[in-house]
Amino acid sequence: MKTSIDMTRPSALYVGLAAILLLAAFILPRLGLTGFESLVHAPYRRSGAAAALGVSIVFGFLGALRHAARAEEPWRVPGSQPLLLVLLFTAFGALGLLLSL
Amino acid sequence: MYLNTKIVNALMTLRAISPERLAAVTGLSSRALTAWLDGTAKDEDSDARLPFDRQLEVIKILGITGEVPRSDVTHAWFLREPAFGSREPTYEPLRTILLYCGGCDVTLLAAEADPFVSLRARTHFALTFDKFRAVLQITSAPFRSLAFSPGSLPNMRWVGEQAPLIVRKDLFLSLTGPGESVPAQLDLERHKALEIAHWKKIGELAAERGMGAPELAHFLIDKVPVKPMLPALSAQLTAAAPAAAKEPIPAAPEPESLFQGAK
């Protein structure tokens, strides 16, 4: 009988999402997608991108903290809590990435 | 004699059965049942509309035979924490039942591996009362931590730190499905979990005394005679499970009674 919950699968998912985001951040600027700037005419696009990436980092950090808390006390922290934070991390990260193009 | 409707109401909440559903199952009038449960019916009317033997039928549906919940089934109880606001009232039915039924050990009951994605915040706990077993499922908001705190509930002893029940997925589904498992199954898993904690404790005690595993093994070989018990080991393990569950539990400070004196 095990004494702790195996959290390999959600951990792999979270690391995978972060890796995809990083990979996209590395690859997309090198693809020469110059048309995006003309699609989004927001006056503070760069600032918006920075804000979205900042918020994404905060959510990512909180998600990691809650994931660690679930490993510590699985009866108190439901698995949905880190998942929601990581999904917000991914969404804001993707938004920041698109705005920065 | 009459029944304590506070306990009946608490059991209905824990079993997630509405008065309408209970009335439909028992074939009683919904109005009479609600009036009896709410205490809004006049005393003599209440007895006339819902005689004592019908009241016994109601509590039988809720899993009570005699004075306490049945011991031959694992009771499935459900609580749902609200997404916003105070969560203290959620645990009021459980508090009532704990005062009525006496002490219990509580531990986490979970599958051995988390799924990739889970947006449902459902946590299960195994409750070991002196006379019966229950599995409590608490549903919370996906973004909130659980407010369940055994330390703040009367007569509840948390053993989740040393003996959480982390079981295979199929066994987890069997243990948590209403009507799927028998108490002996839960007891066996609990016995296995406690055994791990006990072996760990023995290791710590040996280390404190400067003994490693080889020294401890030699000590046992030299000093403790072997008992002829190996052929029936598995059967004894099963039999030992209920005994393991009967560790001293603090007595209820003010136990309520389901059956009150005659009016």
Contacts of A67 in chain B (CB under 8 A): none
Strands (E), B41-120: 64-65, 68-69, 74-80, 104-111
Predicted pLDDT at B235: 61
Predicted pLDDT at B96: 94
Which of A5, A76, A84 is the closest to B113 by Cβ? A5
Q: What is the DSSP letter of A29?
A: G
Phi, psi of B138 (to 5 degrees): -110, 120
Q: What residue type is B22 in one-letter code?
A: L
Q: Report how many domains make up chain B.
A: 1
- Let me know if residue B127 belongs to a domain: yes
Residue of B nearest to A73 (CA): B161
Closest CA to B67 of B263, B262, B255: B255
Which of A2, A9, A81 is the closest to B115 by Cβ? A9
A48 inside 8 A of chain B by CB = no
- Let me know if residue B23 belongs to a domain: no
Based on its alpha-carbon atoms, the radius of gyration of chain A, rounded to whole angstroms, reads 17
Contact B145 A78 (CB under 8 A): yes
> Which structural domain, as residue segments, surrounds residue B193?
71-225+234-263
Predicted pLDDT at B43: 56
- Let me know if residue B58 belongs to a domain: no
Cα B218 to chain center, whole Å? 41
B-facing residues of A in 6-45 (CB < 8 A) are: 6-10, 12-13
Which of B127, B138, B145, B195 to substitute to test the interface with A, most A CBs within 10 Å?
Answer: B145
Predicted pLDDT at B263: 42
Which residues, 6 or more positions from B31, have their beta carbon under 8 angstroms from its beta carbon?
none
Question: pLDDT digit string (tens) for A51-96?
Answer: 999 999 999 999 999 999 999 999 999 999 999 999 999 999 999 9
- Cα separation, B226 vs B231, in Å, equals 13
Closest CA to B72 of B81, B63, B80: B63
Closest CA to B56 of B263, B259, B261, B262: B259
pTM score = 0.82
B251 inside 8 A of chain A by CB = no
- Let me know if residue B257 belongs to a domain: yes
B148 inside 8 A of chain A by CB = yes
**ipTM computed for the complex:** 0.87
- Let me know if residue B14 belongs to a domain: no
- Biggest CA pair distance of chain B: 75
- Let me know if residue B64 belongs to a domain: no
Contact A80 B116 (CB under 8 A): no
What stretches in chain B show pLDDT beneath 70? 1, 41-49, 228-263
- Let me know if residue B85 belongs to a domain: yes
Q: What is the DSSP letter of A6?
A: B
Which of B80, B114, B139, B144 to substitute to test the interface with A, most A CBs within 10 Å?
Answer: B114
Contact A1 B125 (CB under 8 A): no
| SS3 label, residue B229 | coil
- Let me know if residue B51 belongs to a domain: no
A87 inside 8 A of chain B by CB = no
Given a contact cutoff of 8 angstroms between Cβ atoms, the answer to whether A20 and A49 are in contact is no
